[in-house]
Amino acid sequence: MKKKFDLAKIKKVSDFYYKEVPVIKSFKSENNYVFLLKFKNFEKVIKLCSPNDSWKVEKEIYLFELLSDNHVPVPKVDYSETEGLIGESWYIMDNLGDENLNDLFKRSEEKSKYLFFELGQLFARIHKIKFDFQGQIYGRDIEKQSFSDSYRNSFEKSSKLLFSKGKISEKELINAKNIFSNFVDSNQRSLCHDDFGPWQAIIKDGKISGIIDWEWARVSNPVYDFSKSELLIDLWSGNFDEFQRGYESVTNLPKDYNKIKLPYQIVELMNMMVYFLDNSKNFNLAKNKFLKLIS
């Protein structure tokens, strides 16, 4: 569990840059501290990381610039520091809205459909952003790692851990390995969000005002990235058909996508099970989908 953040630090930053101390409201965030700053005449959002994770701040600011240049809506950053004033890594951005697309979906599946179509289009446009080689993005640099090596290592690590903890049986592991043996490599070098879904789409005035949370982004195979988003939407949201229609209105998936995606989704379901080892509800959702795919 995260420790309570010292709000005096945020007040210090706000007073220094805006000459005003705002009302501060916490936003839900699993890995970082995110707060809404309510000034008298406007609102901002501050996102803070630990000093050791300063590369995350640099990375998101870099990707916001890149995405904006490619007509993908993202937050506009006012100020940032990776050290200095309060000894934390942070950036302050515009408040793009108080609701994400999944929240809207829960209120009205029908009203959210056209935005899922638009989200699919945005995802395809993100995948059209290319780099010189594959790898993980750190700050403004890329640490080279091939698509195949990255996910083969991930499969081995997650499968061994789950088996050692008795979370999957020997038969289930064998079936998963059989499916994974058909893993299709790729030399594509697209910008991949690696955690893309309606939760990252902020809504304002009935429109998608920005795509957020780029910490996990990498340069990799867009088909894998799409297959992971299919899983996320299937498990925790909906309107996937509209999302896929929007995506394919911009760029086509492979004709044999439904075959190619199976080894990819096996990897991600195992990764999810590892991530949710201490969350039985989400673990069981991922495990049940995993069992369905390997049957």
Residue 127 burial (C-beta neighbours within 10 Å; 0-12, 13-18, 19+):
buried
Question: Looking at the domain assignment, is residue 183 inside a domain?
Answer: yes
Say yes or no: 278 and 188 in one domain.
Answer: yes
pLDDT at 1: 52
Q: Is 105 exposed, middle or buried (0-12, 13-18, 19+ CB in 10 A)?
A: buried
Beta bridge pairs of residue 201: 211
The answer on 115 and 85 residing in a single domain is: no
Neighbour tally for 164: CB within 10 Å: 9
- In this structure, the answer to whether residues 134 and 245 fall within a common structural domain is yes
Q: Which two tokens stand for residue 84?
A: 């200095």
Residue 132 lies in a domain: yes
pLDDT tops 60 at residue 111: yes
Q: Is the model's pLDDT at 207 over the cut of 80?
A: yes
For residues 278 and 254, state if they share a domain. Answer: yes
Residue 282 pLDDT > 80, yes or no? yes
Question: What pLDDT does 132 receive?
Answer: 97
Residue 47: which CATH number? 3.30.200.20
Same domain (yes/no): 83, 127: no
Tell me if 111 is assigned to some domain.
yes
| pTM metric for this prediction | 0.95
- 207 domain-assigned: yes
> What rounded mean pLDDT belongs to the chain?
95
Same domain? For 191 and 215 the reply is: yes
pLDDT at 251 over 70: yes
Domain that holds residue 43: 7-94
* Residue 32 confidence (pLDDT): 82
Q: What is the CATH number of the domain that holds 248?
A: 3.90.1200.10
> pLDDT digit string (tens) for 20-47?
999 999 987 767 899 999 999 999 999 9
Straight-line distance from the first to the last Cα atom of the chain, in angstroms, rounded to the nearest whole number: 36
What is the rounded average pLDDT of the residues 63-91? 94
Q: Assess whether pLDDT exceeds 90 at residue 51.
A: no
**CA-wise closest residue to 129 among 64, 85, 55, 82:** 64
- Cβ pair 192, 215 in contact under 8 A: no
- At 160-198, the pLDDT tens digits run 999 999 999 999 999 999 999 999 999 999 999 999 999
Do 77 and 216 belong together in one domain? no
Considering the domain architecture, whether residues 46 and 167 belong to the same structural domain is answered as: no
In this prediction, residues 107-116 reach a mean pLDDT of 94
How many structural domains does the chain have?
Answer: 2
Last-in-domain residue among 39, 60, 94:
94
Q: Identify the band that residue 2 occupies on the pLDDT scale cut at 50, 70 and 90.
A: low
pLDDT of residue 53: 86
Residue 88 inside a domain? The answer is: yes
Distance, in Å, from the CA atom of 123 to the CA atom of 229, rounded to the nearest integer, reads 10
Model confidence pLDDT, tens digit, residues 120-134: 999 999 999 999 999
Residue 36 shares a structural domain with residue 19: yes
